[in-house]
């Protein structure tokens, strides 16, 4: 998929004029001379599509052709590249991208959900019709995560990839740690500031990070990953008390997406994790993202930056457009094959690691003995234990934190099921995995 660039303009049709779409047009106009010099030809928006034609988007689109139906961009002979910024894994976005690739037109998209759920189909369409599909903006906004994993590390065999992949969760966990406020309060503040959506489920339940991890893992290991093979947990269960205990233990809480290859297959999960407070990942706070990759020869690398927003995302979209203008494109998963099966995945129960457990237990003698007996019977070894005293005499339950040595996920799940069934335990046990770095 490499061809010689032309001196004629690369004509763009943009579907979706939200924050990112308007940002792309603004960037293209503001940096027109710079981009033309770097791309070897001008980049020119000639047509757009969006739902509301009269809406003020802060950018003038009156001189551009307007299509009510986004898929009509594919049939416009003056559109060389389709830019899909609608979002969503189904509906108009999917129809547009599939139609463009089937017609042999290059596509640039920021649509992580579409790539995560339909990456195999889109990769086949791209290869079969010699139509490049680029998606730098789909993972970590302005951080060049895709190019780093797929191209910068192409010479190495990658063993692990992932990182902090959702800025909303990272912001919430950071503010909880810094202020001592609970999850619900910080989430409301984040919504008021525009850092969280009115319906925050995709972010706080881990789905957004899982979409991104699915893409990163496919790139790192050269095969598509089935989205439903990724184990996903969010941050709703994390309380202010967990932040306090984490600090006392020398950790910070982060929502991490991690994927690794073993002889048995792919292990991929999005879960809250305790990270040593002096580790590089622990220092990535607020709305920032970080992508980590580990290879046999390169070792461990980390890149960080803003993972969302009009500016960073528009920058990533435009970088893909520059690549197309130059004639520099690459197969979707970085390997020249149009019909690859998804990677064989391992269930979460086959994993291993150390765990933080926070229980709410009756404040009376014998409770700890009952719990540790269950752990012993399940083959789980304790490393440490912390307990906060009751806030007042009227509080019958107190938080108890247990930190385990490395053990199997299966053993830990068995132990938690038995512990939660005890009459002296109220609420479900909060489980946070412990990462070395």
Residue pair 180/243 in contact by the 8 Å Cβ criterion: yes
Q: Do 154 and 130 belong to one domain?
A: no
**56: its two tokens:** 């003020």
Question: How many independent structural domains does the chain possess?
Answer: 3
**Is it the case that residue 339 has pLDDT exceeding 70?**
no
Query: What is the residue whose two structure tokens read 């108009």?
Result: 92
Convert the pLDDT of each residue in 169-216 to its tens digit.
999 999 999 999 999 999 999 999 888 888 999 999 999 999 999 999
Residue pair 15/70 in contact by the 8 Å Cβ criterion: yes
Residue 341 lies in a domain: no
Share of the chain above pLDDT 90, in %: 76
**226: its two tokens:** 């089935």
Helix (H) or strand (E) holding 216, with range, is: helix 207-221
Mean pLDDT of 35-54: 91
Show which of 250, 278, 306 is a domain's final residue.
Answer: 306
Convert the pLDDT of each residue in 7-21 to its tens digit.
799 999 999 999 899
Q: Do 137 and 154 belong to one domain?
A: no
Q: β-strand 251-262 against 265-276: which pairing, if any?
A: antiparallel
Query: Is 254 annotated in the active site?
Result: no
Q: β-strand 352-362 against 425-434: which pairing, if any?
A: antiparallel
Other C-beta atoms closer than 10 Å to the C-beta of 289 total 26
Show which of 306, 340, 366 is a domain's final residue.
Answer: 306
Q: Do 225 and 279 belong to one domain?
A: yes
Q: Do 90 and 24 belong to one domain?
A: yes
- What are the φ and ψ backbone dihedral angles of 176, each rounded to 5 degrees? -60, -45
Helix (H) or strand (E) holding 128, with range, is: helix 112-128
**Options 112, 147, 212, 254, the catalytic residue:** 212
**Is it the case that residue 389 has pLDDT exceeding 80?**
no
Other C-beta atoms closer than 10 Å to the C-beta of 162 total 26
Convert the pLDDT of each residue in 76-113 to its tens digit.
999 999 999 999 999 999 999 999 999 999 999 999 99
């Amino acid at each position: 998929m490499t061809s010689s660039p032309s001196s004629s303009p690369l004509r763009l049709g943009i579907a979706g004029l939200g924050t990112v779409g308007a940002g792309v047009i603004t960037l293209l106009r503001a940096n027109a001379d710079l981009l033309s010099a770097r791309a070897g030809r001008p980049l020119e928006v000639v047509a757009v599509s969006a739902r509301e034609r009269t809406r003020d988007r802060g950018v003038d689109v009156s001189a551009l052709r307007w299509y009510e139906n986004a898929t009509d961009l594919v049939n416009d002979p003056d559109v060389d590249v389709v830019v899909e910024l609608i979002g969503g894994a189904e509906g108009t976005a999917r129809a547009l991208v599939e139609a463009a690739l089937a017609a042999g037109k290059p596509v640039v998209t920021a649509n992580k959900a579409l790539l995560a759920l339909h990456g195999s189909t889109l990769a086949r369409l791209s290869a079969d019709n010699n139509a490049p599909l680029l998606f730098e903006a789909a993972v970590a906004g302005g951080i060049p995560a895709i190019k780093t994993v797929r191209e910068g590390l192409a010479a190495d065999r990658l063993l692990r990839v992932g990182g902090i992949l959702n800025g909303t969760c990272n912001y919430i966990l950071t503010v909880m740690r810094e202020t001592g406020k609970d999850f619900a309060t910080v989430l409301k503040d984040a919504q008021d500031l525009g850092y969280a959506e009115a319906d925050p489920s995709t972010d706080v339940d881990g789905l957004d990070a899982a979409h991104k991890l699915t893409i990163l893992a496919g790139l790192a290991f050269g095969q598509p990953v089935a989205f439903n093979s990724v184990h996903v947990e969010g941050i709703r269960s994390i309380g202010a008390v967990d932040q306090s205990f984490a600090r006392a233990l020398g950790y910070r809480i982060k929502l991490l997406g991690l994927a690794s290859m073993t002889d048995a297959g792919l292990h991929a999960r999005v879960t809250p994790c305790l990270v040593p407070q002096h580790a590089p990942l622990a220092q990535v706070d607020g709305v920032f993202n970080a992508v980590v990759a580990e290879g046999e020869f390169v070792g461990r690398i980390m890149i960080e930056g803003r993972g969302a927003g009009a500016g960073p995302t528009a920058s990533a979209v435009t970088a893909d457009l520059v690549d197309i203008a130059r004639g520099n494109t690459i197969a979707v998963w970085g390997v020249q094959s149009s019909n690859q099966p998804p990677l064989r995945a391992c269930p979460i129960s086959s994993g291993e690691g150390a765990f933080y457990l926070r229980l709410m237990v009756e404040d009376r003698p014998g409770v700890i003995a009952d719990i540790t007996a269950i752990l012993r019977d399940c083959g789980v070894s304790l490393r440490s234990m912390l307990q906060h005293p009751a806030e007042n005499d009227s509080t019958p339950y107190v938080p108890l934190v247990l930190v385990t040595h490395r053990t199997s996920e299966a053993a830990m799940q068995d132990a938690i099921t038995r512990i939660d069934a005890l009459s002296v335990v109220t609420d479900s046990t909060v489980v946070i995995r412990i990462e070395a770095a």
